Structure 1
Amino acid sequence: MNRNLLGLKKEKLSHFRLYWHDILSTRNPTSVTVVPPVNTSSSSSPYTAFGQVNMIDNPLTLGPDLRSKMVGRAQGFYALASKEEIGLLMAMNFAFTEGKYNGSSITVMGRNPVFSKVREMPIVGGSGLFRFARGYVQAKTQRFDPTNGDATVEYNVYVLHY
């Protein structure tokens, strides 16, 4: 690939931190179940909601408080893909709406075992300033409310791009 023909400059590594807010409890949720879970009574572990799929349009903020500056949205889905634990398949775009990355996006797709302290998922692409992106994110739950399912997750993003 000839970078000059595509107008690409030198590849660089960017690191930034975002907070992902999964809100199920309000009248205007950012995460909705589109496929309910199947019965997993044959599983050797407690109920895992295996088979459930949620579509998301979650706020991405600079701080853990939902009222902090919103810089984009996480749009996509997560599916409960494990019969033995709460393990998600996540497929989402971090669509940026503020700052120098406004109009650009990063695509994250991978396995998220939610009860692990830190989870790592790959960045599989991007658009705008993140064209030809690759890298990874590390997710760490900041807050989870088991009564309503709301969660705030810190995402550390490490992305190579042009």
Structure 2
Amino acid sequence: MLQRIIFCTAVLLAIASVILLALFSPVPHRKNSTRHWLALSLYIQHPQVGGPVPIPVPPWAATGALIFHHTLTEGPENTSRVIGKAQGFIIPNEHFAHSAFNIIYFMFDTHKYSGSISIQSKNVGHKNKEELKVVGGTGSFAFARGHAVFAQTNGEKSNLDATYHIKLHLKFPNRSQIIPE
């Protein structure tokens, strides 16, 4: 009988605590649902090849696909601090212009940021300045959306040898804390 009384008391206390928690729990504030913005400026450097002379590559518009692996730096000089990598696979053929494969990935590995950003490159117009959509990210950039402005910084004739200045404007939905800028 004593066990039954103890059991019923425990059940009543559990039910009462659930009801009290539901009634007196703090309600989330509307301020936390605002979007937080982050602006980054970086550069894509053409890889410096050492040793034997590289084999010339035809212009990317004439080939079937552009596959690249470049470095991301803080400044425009190729001696600037490396902050990550830029990789991509783009098929410029008009049949694949809207392909889901046309994505550029930025991978960051710094003390401040660690993760990746995915940039959709469906509508590349082969201009010296492009504005593309940021469609997601991982790590420090989880759920990032926004846009990336690519601008060629040097007057190179070939887009393969060009250095690009990238301005990222990212927004993060429902972040509980503000991202430092």
Aligned counterpart, 2:91: 79
Structure 1: runs of 5 or more not aligned = 38-46, 84-88
Q: Which has the higher strand share?
A: 1
Q: For the Cα contact (< 8 Å) 1:90–1:112, is it kept in 2?
A: no
| 2:154 equivalent to 1:159 | no
Aligned counterpart, 1:135: 146
Residues 55, 133 of structure 1: CA spacing in aligned structure 2 closer, same or farther, 3 A cutoff?
same
Q: Which has the higher helix share?
A: 2
The normalised TM-score by structure 1 is 0.68
Residues 131, 48 of structure 1: CA spacing in aligned structure 2 closer, same or farther, 3 A cutoff?
closer
Residues 52, 98 of structure 1: CA spacing in aligned structure 2 closer, same or farther, 3 A cutoff?
same
Aligned counterpart, 1:21: 45
2: CA distance, partners of 1:148 / 1:121: 17
Q: Partner amino acid for 2:170?
A: V
Q: Partner amino acid for 1:26?
A: V
Aligned counterpart, 2:11: none
Q: Give the fraction of aligned pairs with identical amino acids, expressed as a percent.
A: 26
1: CA distance, partners of 2:137 / 2:143: 6
Secondary structure at the aligned position of 1:156 is classed as strand
Calculate the aligned-residue CA RMSD, in Å.
Answer: 3.4
The normalised TM-score by structure 2 is 0.61
Q: How many aligned positions are there? A: 134
Superposition misfits of 4+ residues, deviation over 4 angstroms:
none
Q: 1:100 aligns with which of 106, 109, 112?
A: 112
Aligned counterpart, 1:40: none
Residues 147, 112 of structure 1: CA spacing in aligned structure 2 closer, same or farther, 3 A cutoff?
closer
Q: Partner amino acid for 2:35?
A: E
Q: For the Cα contact (< 8 Å) 1:48–1:82, is it kept in 2?
A: no
Question: How much has 1:132 moved relative to structure 2?
Answer: 1.1
Structure 2: runs of 5 or more not aligned = 1-27, 96-100, 176-181
Residues 67, 156 of structure 1: CA spacing in aligned structure 2 closer, same or farther, 3 A cutoff?
same
Question: How much has 1:19 moved relative to structure 2?
Answer: 0.4
Q: Partner amino acid for 2:148?
A: V
Q: Partner amino acid for 2:49?
A: T
Q: How does 1:50-61 map to 2 (within 5 A)?
A: 51-61=63-73
